[in-house]
């Protein structure tokens, strides 16, 4: 009887601890992805998340290991393959279109594995299959594979926000055929609005810009603030500049609030041009603000950060 009770106790304890372990794993994965989206050093965190089997973390880790030139290395290939094995289309795309220039020169390319053409064929098959079931993301992948704008249009029509944004920009660049030239601009605006409504911060600030161009500052400001309130770093930085100047979207000049939003951007603490520029702007503002105003701005920034999502660049996969 005692043995049975002991076994039951162990079973109950393991059952109770299982949700906690799952929560810990989710936290590890979430932290890694937040750091990646903030463009902060995150190799250690991504490795931990990737080791837990999260396909997206594996892809992000491979991206970091490939570097800005997207060079295929033994380490990046390993994690792309791990992610691709779980069906990640973006990992398959990288494996299908490998950049091996540097590793060939250094003679440290990945050992021969699955040929790039095999990955391309597999990716094409998966993307075509998912597209038949209305998967907008798969349709956008078909566009990348074929460069056929019709696939991007299908993806946008299926409601994929990233494709709506990309298609609007492709139209702006002159792609696509419009029998009535003025319809090009109308379609660009329609697509940007759809992408903005679907919550894409990049589209929200671009749509706000279109509205401002035609003098609709009030609605433009509303859309811009949606991007700000999503903690889109680019929007936060630009909004701080607007508050400094007080001449865009009819946003009134407010040096203290500008300092508040600059301090949010500076909190990323990354060694890049944005960090340097933000620090310079804050230094200039400090000359016009009182110590109490600066202190209050910092308090406001802390409160804002606690009530909004983590700061993010909302990086789009494959650099789109």
Interval 309-320: pLDDT, tens: 999 999 999 986
Residue 154 has pLDDT above 60, yes or no: yes
* 221: in domain: no
CA-based torsion, 249, 255, 261, 265: positive or negative: positive
The pLDDT of 289-311, averaged and rounded, is 97
Q: Give the up-direction half-sphere exposure of residue 209: CA atoms within 13 A in the CB hemisphere.
A: 12
Residue that wins the pLDDT comparison between 266 and 113: 266
List pLDDT tens digits, range 204-218: 999 999 999 989 999
CA angle centred on 34, ends 33 and 40, rounded to 5°? 100
* 128: in domain: yes
- Evaluate whether 243 touches 258 at the Cβ level (below 8 Å): yes
Final residue in a domain of this structure, among 69, 104, 133? 133
Final residue in a domain of this structure, among 133, 166, 196? 133
Residue 289 has pLDDT above 50, yes or no: yes
Final residue in a domain of this structure, among 115, 133, 151? 133
Residue 51 has pLDDT above 50, yes or no: yes
Residues 6+ apart with CB under 8 A from 90: 59, 83, 317, 318
Strand, coil or helix: 69: coil
Percent of the chain with pLDDT over 90: 81
* 254: in domain: yes
> Considering its fold, how many domains does the chain have in total?
2
CATH at 54: 1.25.40
Torsion of CA 124, 130, 135, 138, to 10 degrees: -10
Predicted confidence at residue 114, as pLDDT, reads 83
Residue closest to 57 by CA, chosen among 69, 65, 47: 47
Place of tokens 């508040």: 260
The pLDDT of 28-37, averaged and rounded, is 97
Predicted confidence at residue 238, as pLDDT, reads 96
The pLDDT of 64-89, averaged and rounded, is 92
C-alpha distances out from residue 86 to 59, 79, 82, 200, Å:
11, 11, 7, 26
The pLDDT of 29-58, averaged and rounded, is 97
Predicted confidence at residue 69, as pLDDT, reads 79
Residue 5 has pLDDT above 60, yes or no: no
Give the domain extent around 36: 22-133
List pLDDT tens digits, range 258-280: 999 999 999 998 878 999 999 99
What pLDDT band is residue 13 in, cutting at 50, 70 and 90? very low
* 210: in domain: no
List pLDDT tens digits, range 166-204: 999 999 999 999 999 999 999 999 999 999 999 999 999
- Return d(Cα 191, Cα 241) in angstroms, integer: 27
- pTM > 0.85: yes
* 216: in domain: no
* 157: in domain: no
Predicted confidence at residue 104, as pLDDT, reads 64
Residues 6+ apart with CB under 8 A from 96: 116, 117, 119, 120, 123
Residue 16 has pLDDT above 70, yes or no: no
Predicted confidence at residue 6, as pLDDT, reads 54
Predicted confidence at residue 8, as pLDDT, reads 47
Residue that wins the pLDDT comparison between 3 and 232: 232
List pLDDT tens digits, range 198-255: 999 999 999 999 999 989 999 999 999 999 999 999 999 999 999 999 878 889 999 9
* 196: in domain: no
Residue 61 has pLDDT above 80, yes or no: yes
* 154: in domain: no
Predicted confidence at residue 23, as pLDDT, reads 87
What pLDDT band is residue 21 in, cutting at 50, 70 and 90? confident
């Amino acid at each position: 009887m005692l043995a049975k009770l002991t076994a039951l106790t162990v079973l109950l304890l393991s059952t109770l601890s299982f949700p906690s372990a799952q929560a810990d794993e989710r936290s590890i994965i979430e932290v890694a992805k937040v750091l990646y989206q903030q463009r902060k050093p995150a190799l250690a965190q991504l490795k931990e998340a990737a080791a837990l089997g999260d396909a997206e973390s594996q892809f992000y880790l491979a991206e970091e290991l490939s570097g800005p030139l997207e060079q295929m290395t033994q380490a990046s290939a390993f994690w792309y393959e791990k992610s691709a094995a779980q069906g990640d289309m973006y990992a398959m795309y990288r494996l299908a279109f490998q950049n091996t220039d540097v590793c060939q020169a250094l003679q440290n390319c990945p050992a021969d594995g699955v040929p790039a053409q095999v990955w391309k064929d597999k990716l094409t098959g998966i993307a075509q299959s998912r597209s038949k079931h209305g998967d907008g993301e798969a349709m956008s992948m078909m566009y990348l594979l074929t460069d056929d704008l019709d696939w991007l249009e299908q993806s946008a029509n299926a409601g994929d926000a990233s494709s709506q944004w990309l298609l609007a920009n492709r139209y702006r660049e002159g792609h696509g055929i419009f029998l009535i030239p003025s319809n090009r601009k109308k379609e660009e605006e329609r697509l940007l609005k759809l992408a903005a409504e679907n919550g894409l911060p990049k589209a929200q600030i671009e749509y706000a810009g279109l509205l401002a161009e035609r003098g609709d500052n009030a609605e433009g400001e509303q859309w811009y603030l949606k991007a700000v309130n999503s903690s889109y770093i680019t929007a936060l930085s630009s909004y701080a500049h607007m508050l400094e100047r007080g001449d865009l979207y009819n946003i009134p000049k407010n040096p203290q609030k500008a300092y508040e939003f600059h301090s949010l951007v500076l909190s990323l603490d990354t060694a890049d041009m944005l960090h340097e520029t933000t620090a310079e702007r804050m230094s200039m503002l400090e000359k016009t603000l009182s110590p109490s105003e600066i202190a209050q701005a910092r308090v406001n920034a802390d409160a804002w950060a606690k009530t909004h999502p983590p700061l993010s660049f909302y990086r789009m996969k494959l650099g789109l």
